[in-house]
């Protein structure tokens, strides 16, 4: 009887326990399940954010690369502009020289034409003088012939004396006339001879002077022609250089325009990338808002009760160097949502929970160069939470309860980090606060 009673009691107790377990399974809410579900949703959005951030990183790299391309194109453009200015200045000098050469050549040509006219005039004058000389020579020959006749007559009468003149004279008056005539004839002969001599000498002198003038003019003309030919040769050489300079100027101008177009294309590409980056940033912001809401929901689903008391420093006390404070940061060009704590040999040292709470995010996957890398978020209740970023290792999991001062991760340099450090945030209702408003400064 006792054994049967015990069996019945055992079966009743088992049934009661089973019913209680079934009832608890269907009635009691599973907070850890909700937290895990929320965490999964957050992780999906985080992954999407990382994807967008990675794309933006690629865009940033592309923009930076395009900046380098612009710099190179601008340098090349500046170089070609300098070359263009130099060759243009050279071309201007060539044009000026050609202008003055053409002016000089025109002046030389005018001088040649003037000398040709002078030479032609001298040739006409010489021809006239030669004609006059021929006429004078003819007159001289005639006078010489007449003078010869007179000499012959005088020679014939060379032996006649004054007595024959007297004998032939009819009277004294006739004698005087004959005597005077003989004297005049003799004087005329002397005068004629002198005039003949002077005429020939003057004519020869004039002819010689004209020939000298003509020779001088011809020499001047040849000199001017030589100078003109030299100028024309220089002009030909300069024209070749001018054409070469014009060709270079055209090439440099085309190169300058080409680089201008390249720069415009690059700038347009940058603008397109900036637009895409802005759109991605807007999408990231939207996802971040969703994450914030889901963290808030995760905090609401959490039963964590806020524990009054001080917040403790999240690292060992030898690590107190602040490399970046909370608030606006020039280097980032924006607000810094926490403080960065570093120090010599900090890598791998433990990170402690600043307050007791429930782990609502334990991110172990990340994209290099982005965001917090590996990080932990702990809900402390009443809307308070802390974030520990750039960890090298994560010691906790989502839904895990942690005590104040418990090691939750190790210091690293994952994500967007330039060296080993802890990025530490304190949030109230998911809004970043200055950690020094909560954590006691003990140094």
- Report the b/e string of 271-295 with b at 16+ CB within 10 A: eebeeebeebeebbeebeebbeebb
What gap in Å lies between CA 359 and CA 342, rounded to an integer? 24
Percent of the chain having pLDDT more than 90? 21
Q: State yes or no: pLDDT of 230 exceeds 70.
A: yes
Average pLDDT, the chain: 75
Partners of 321 in the beta sheet? 342
Band (pLDDT 50/70/90 cuts) for residue 436 is very high
The C-alpha atoms of residue 28 and residue 178 are separated, in whole angstroms, by 189
pLDDT at position 20: 39
Which residues are 432's β-sheet partners?
427
In sequence order, what DSSP letters do the residues of 377-429 get, joined into one string?
Answer: EEEEETTEEEEEEEEEEE---TT-EE-TT-EEEEEB--SS-SSSBEEEEEEET
Dump pLDDT digits (tens) for 113-145: 887 887 788 778 778 877 877 887 787 777 767
d(CA 120, CA 143): 34
Are the C-beta atoms of 353 and 405 separated by less than 8 Å?
A: yes
- Domain(s) of CATH 1.10.287: residues in the chain: 31-301
Which segments of 157-171 does DSSP mark as H helices, in order?
Answer: 162-168
31-301 to CATH, choices 2.40.128, 3.40.720, 1.20.140, 1.10.287: 1.10.287
Lowest mean pLDDT among 7-16, 239-248, 265-274: 7-16
Of 234-238, 260-264, 295-299, which range is least confident?
A: 295-299
CATH architecture of 306-443: Distorted Sandwich (2.70)
Q: Where, residue-wise, is CATH 2.70.70.10 in the chain?
A: 306-443
Q: Which two tokens stand for residue 300?
A: 């609401």
pLDDT in tens, 5-48: 444 434 443 444 343 333 333 333 444 444 455 555 666 665 66
Taking the model in full, what pTM does it have?
0.43
Closest CA to 39 of 377, 373, 330, 436: 377
354, 312 in Cβ contact below 8 A?
yes
Tokens representing 404 are 């104040």
pLDDT per position as a tens digit, 93-116: 777 777 777 787 788 788 788 878
């Amino acid at each position: 009887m006792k054994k049967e009673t015990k069996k019945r009691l055992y079966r009743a107790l088992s049934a009661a326990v089973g019913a209680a377990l079934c009832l608890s399974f269907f009635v009691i809410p599973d907070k850890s399940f909700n937290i895990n579900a929320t965490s999964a949703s957050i992780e999906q959005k985080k992954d999407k954010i990382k994807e967008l951030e990675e794309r933006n990183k690629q865009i940033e790299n592309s923009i930076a690369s395009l900046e380098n391309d612009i710099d190179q194109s601008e340098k090349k453009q500046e170089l070609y502009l300098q070359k263009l200015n130099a060759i243009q200045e050279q071309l201007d000098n060539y044009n000026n020289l050609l202008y003055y050469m053409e002016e000089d050549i025109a002046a030389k040509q005018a001088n040649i034409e003037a000398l040709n006219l002078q030479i032609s005039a001298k040739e006409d004058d010489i021809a006239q003088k030669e004609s006059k000389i021929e006429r004078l020579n003819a007159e001289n020959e005639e006078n010489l012939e007449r003078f010869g006749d007179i000499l012959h007559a005088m020679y014939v009468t060379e032996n006649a004396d004054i007595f024959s003149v007297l004998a032939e004279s009819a009277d004294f008056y006739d004698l005087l006339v004959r005597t005077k005539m003989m004297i005049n004839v003799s004087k005329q002969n002397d005068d004629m001879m002198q005039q003949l001599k002077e005429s020939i000498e003057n004519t020869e002198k004039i002819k010689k002077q004209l020939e000298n003038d003509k020779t001088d003019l011809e020499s001047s003309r040849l000199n001017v022609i030589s100078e003109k030919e030299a100028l024309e040769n220089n002009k030909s050489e300069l024209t070749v250089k001018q054409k070469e300079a014009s060709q270079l100027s055209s090439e440099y101008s085309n190169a300058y325009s080409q680089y201008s177009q390249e720069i415009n294309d690059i700038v347009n590409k940058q603008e397109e990338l900036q637009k895409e980056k802005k759109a991605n940033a807007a999408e990231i912001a939207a996802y971040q808002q969703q994450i914030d809401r889901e963290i808030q929901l995760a905090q609401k689903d959490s039963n964590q009760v806020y524990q009054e008391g001080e917040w403790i420093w999240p690292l060992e006390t030898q690590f107190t160097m602040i490399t970046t404070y909370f608030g606006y940061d020039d280097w980032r060009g924006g607000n810094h949502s926490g403080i960065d704590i570093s120090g010599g040999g900090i890598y791998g040292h433990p990170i402690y929970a600043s307050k007791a709470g429930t782990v609502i995010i334990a991110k172990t996957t990340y994209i290099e160069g982005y965001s917090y890398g590996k990080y932990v978020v702990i809900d402390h209740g009443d809307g308070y939470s802390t974030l520990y970023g750039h960890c090298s290792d994560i010691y906790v999991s989502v839904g895990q309860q942690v005590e104040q001062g418990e090691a939750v991760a190790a210091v690293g340099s994952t994500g967007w980090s330039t060296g080993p450090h802890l990025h530490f945030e304190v949030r109230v209702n998911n809004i970043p606060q200055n950690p020094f408003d909560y954590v006691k400064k003990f140094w």
